[in-house]
Structure 1
């Protein structure tokens, strides 16, 4: 009896198992009735990720009431398979908490997923792998291709073409110099004393003028003679004295200059004569520096009264102070002041560049920094700036510019070392921070670059352009377009293309000042998007003619996907 019951039980179990297996196989057999809609139809990379949305529509009387289905979108690449997160669905009689699909009416299941982009994904296809189960029985469906991938146009970003900024020189071709000396007079006198003619002050002035006159690159422009009278005494007398002192001083110094053979000394306009009848400003300055008794009281009088006569009267009332003023201050105000104006004329551009290229150590700091700007040869500039760092090792501008040109040459290791040195010499300088950001861009450190560019705000339009590159990388195309403004750069056109501003992109590419093969390649992408086949082929041919390596890029670029079977395209990228 027991054996009979056991046999009946096994038969019943077999029926159930065959029933379950039959139900799953039926679902597998009819899986072609499942309709998949993928958005975007061809997968795209933005902001470093490949996002997708799938709507799966299940037909009526398809989804077994007791089945559980796990669907996994998979990107198949030459390097292997990469899975998106799976989604689990169930029939209406399954007691679980998954998305339910009705057997009788069918239904739609929506799915979204994301994967970090890798370069292998450029040549990939999206398939769905499905596994259905009922209790312990499992059946794997045939994988179904539902999309191609991946359009990766943002990777055309020229991240090693960030815009560096030069720390400018302060070179002046003509450097003005002034040589100054005073001569003093006795009270109420205007004649130049012999002792004053031979004073140390005058002798030093004459020596400087003599030296300048003997140098071919020095131009003695003229002499200002400012004569003064002390503020004591009558105004009319002081005015007369000051004017006479300017005359006697200029005659004395003109004679001295003629003796030194200063050619312009005989010209009337060479001397500019000025006189001050009462030198209250000089008086105030000398009193302020002095240690005379009642100094503060005297200064208070000057601040309280503007009228010269009232000032003189009130100061004389301070009897002790006035005596000290008469002895110590007033004699210094009875004077004429010579100011010789001289222009020191620097080396010509030709001479500067020649010396900088052969013996830069012979130049001063501003000369060598300026000389580097006189050539467009970046390698030559780099050598000059390197020499500047050796002679002027504490100049942050020399290190910045040395690193800047190294970056322009593609030597980002040297560039980083040099610009980091500049940052230690002048921490957080906006220009230096921008250039460190450019290096971070080139190294693929976009978050670091973004922080540096934000800290470099205000250093120039280059910072905005560099932020545009960061925003392309992050997928913020509208903001990137704003960052680039009207700049005629490939990266600016790329931002406009990704933002679907095709007319602007073409206009930008037309105005690029130094077009590269990538300029034509980007044109081809824009024309392909617009369906302008003739212009697309023309631009792509120009790009490949200039750089044959672009054949391989174009061959697998899904921007040209609809041309992959076109005989002309096949021949072009062969």
Structure 2
């Protein structure tokens, strides 16, 4: 009888254990609604061009069975496809193997983190999670997908959970390419010029006024008299160039006319000086009075005199701004280098109200001028002549001429063309390799940048410009530790550009506290406002944006985001409208930007982001 009972009890015990395991899984499935999931941040956001999926799961007391394991694998889906993220395993106290252990009595929590490359269109994507639970003594270490768990184990599929609806891509607003270092320009346009005399004019005027404060400040009348002295001491030069300029403000065609009139005023002054000089020279040569005019005529026939209206003087504007102590001068130079539309460029600079007054007082008056230049040796080529020669046949330019021509050109592909030619034909010059690498890096061609900068470093291993560009290259390749080392070494070697790049490195890595410390002295800068936004200091962010020099589309868009986070609909939409009016493409961004989700369905928002083709 006893033996018979033992035989009966054993299969009953097995069945009981099986039913117990299934019962435990069923209980977990039924109570899954009590598990709490929270994305951080919510919705998920991009960082350094990747979508970062981070969330926590919190299990209540007496939920997670001791003999259960849970396979967790989030999926990101959007209109154009899906991304299956890396899985993790959670396990009960009696399950062996890798994975976080969740206590049955007290419950517990876990944190999940993964990332993948962001692509346009992902802004409206969703992160979902459908956990699969199974009962085993050991974790299935080999399984990579939920189907493998379902096929190979007694399992149950839990309800699907929405982790995040949408992707916040505010990080894309920051230009994180950094400041490249271009080697110093050794081309001296004034070589061969013995003497120059500048005549200054009031804004928009071309009438001669020796009493004008700029003419008095630079002794313009005395400098013109010096031309007479130089010619009496050295004879007539080979060539005299007269150039008229205007400051880059106001209507372009008007400025072209103003610069032409100024050149003509200078030409008239030169005629008077030449007449006086030739009169003295005729007397010294004992020319008979009746032959003086013929003598003057013959002398002038041998002299080359050119008169040119150069229009708005953007080249000297950039040079003077770079050499000035104007706050955020890099932002001003960046506008000139990147904005090809002159009307929009001038307006963007004019919008920089905080420093526009300083530009008007310290920079523009120096550009409203005409210059007389005496050449006693061959005169240097003008900027347009250099540009034309570089495009036709750069071999006819010296190395310094070519490097200068590349420097003053606003097109990065054209710069790259000239620097590449320089490396091929002046291979011993470190500056050519450095500049080619810097421009390639700016254009995002990191393979070419590395090729050029490797040669530059071999030629000049401790040069601060090269070290800074290597830091940018490493940052572009996401080797942030090495980038930091290069930037710090570049600073020690005297680089000022590296100081601007170190905070950007921290922005890319999401180290906002450290970036804020580095940017605290750079008031009224876009990056400072961005860091304040990411640190949830919204009021400080708005104040910083209000004092930014360039009130461009990025400033208005970021300010709209800050107001939206404050729940200030009126100011959020006001600034958003200003941004899309400045840059049409921002309409497309705003339409799916989760920062404005609360306004998506409002009539005001729909009107702001309406595309032309819909109108």
Note whether the superposition's TM-score is higher than 0.5: yes
What is the match of residue 449 of structure 1? 483
**Which of the residues 467, 470, 489 maps onto 1:433?**
467
What is the match of residue 462 of structure 1? 497
Instruction: Tell me how far 1:77 sits from its aligned partner.
Output: 0.5
**Which of the residues 512, 523, 546 maps onto 1:477?**
512
For 2:569 and 2:442, the matched residues in 1 are separated by 36
Label 1:371 to 1:149 Cα distance change in 2 as closer, same or farther (>3 A).
closer
Label 1:495 to 1:37 Cα distance change in 2 as closer, same or farther (>3 A).
closer
Which moved further from structure 2: 493-502 or 360-369?
A: 360-369
Are the aligned partners of 1:356 and 1:363 in contact in 2 as well (CA < 8 Å)? no
Instruction: Tell me how far 1:390 sits from its aligned partner.
Output: 6.6
Label 1:573 to 1:158 Cα distance change in 2 as closer, same or farther (>3 A).
farther
Figure out how many residues of one structure are paired with residues of the other and give that number.
413
**Which of the residues 558, 565, 574 maps onto 2:594?**
558
**What 5-or-longer segments of structure 2 have no aligned partner?**
138-152, 195-229, 241-280, 285-373
For 1:376 and 1:391, the matched residues in 2 are separated by 23
What is the match of residue 382 of structure 2? 351
What is the match of residue 139 of structure 1? 156
Label 1:127 to 1:438 Cα distance change in 2 as closer, same or farther (>3 A).
same
CA deviation string 1:164-217 (max 9, x = no partner): 122222445666999xxxxxxxxxxxxxxxxxxxxxxxxxxxxxx99x946727
For 2:126 and 2:132, the matched residues in 1 are separated by 19
For 1:491 and 1:518, the matched residues in 2 are separated by 11
Instruction: Tell me how far 1:540 sits from its aligned partner.
Output: 3.4
The reply on whether 1:165 has 2:168 as its aligned counterpart is no
1:517-536 matches, cutoff 5 A: 517-536=553-572
What is the match of residue 30 of structure 2? 29
CA deviation string 1:56-113 (max 9, x = no partner): 2525xx548x643434554321223324533223499xxx9944322xxxx3412223
TM-score (norm 2): 0.53
**What 5-or-longer segments of structure 1 have no aligned partner?**
179-208, 220-260, 265-342
Are the aligned partners of 2:468 and 2:495 in contact in 1 as well (CA < 8 Å)? no
The reply on whether 1:500 has 2:500 as its aligned counterpart is no
Instruction: Tell me how far 1:470 sits from its aligned partner.
Output: 1.5
Are the aligned partners of 2:37 and 2:55 in contact in 1 as well (CA < 8 Å)? no
Q: Which of these two proteins has the greater Rg computed from alpha carbons?
A: 1
Could you say what secondary structure the match of 1:456 adopts? helix
Are the aligned partners of 2:239 and 2:379 in contact in 1 as well (CA < 8 Å)? no
Are the aligned partners of 2:66 and 2:94 in contact in 1 as well (CA < 8 Å)? yes
What is the match of residue 126 of structure 2? 124
Could you say what secondary structure the match of 1:131 adopts? strand
TM-score (norm 1): 0.57
What is the match of residue 111 of structure 2? 112
CA deviation string 1:488-545 (max 9, x = no partner): 6654543333233434544554566666644443333323222222333333344445
Label 1:472 to 1:177 Cα distance change in 2 as closer, same or farther (>3 A).
closer
1:153-552 matches, cutoff 5 A: 153-159=170-176, 161-172=177-188, 213=234, 216=237, 351=382, 353-355=384-386, 357-358=388-389, 365-366=399-400, 369-370=403-404, 376=410, 392-405=426-439, 416-457=450-491, 458-484=493-519, 485-486=521-522, 490-510=526-546, 517-544=553-580, 547=583, 549-551=585-587
For 1:263 and 1:512, the matched residues in 2 are separated by 63
Are the aligned partners of 1:164 and 1:404 in contact in 2 as well (CA < 8 Å)? yes
Are the aligned partners of 2:406 and 2:419 in contact in 1 as well (CA < 8 Å)? yes
Instruction: Tell me how far 1:411 sits from its aligned partner.
Output: 6.2
Label 1:510 to 1:362 Cα distance change in 2 as closer, same or farther (>3 A).
farther
CA RMSD of aligned residues (A): 4.9
1:23-62 matches, cutoff 5 A: 23-36=24-37, 39-44=40-45, 50=52, 52=54, 54=56, 56-58=58-60
Could you say what secondary structure the match of 1:54 adopts? strand
For 2:100 and 2:416, the matched residues in 1 are separated by 67
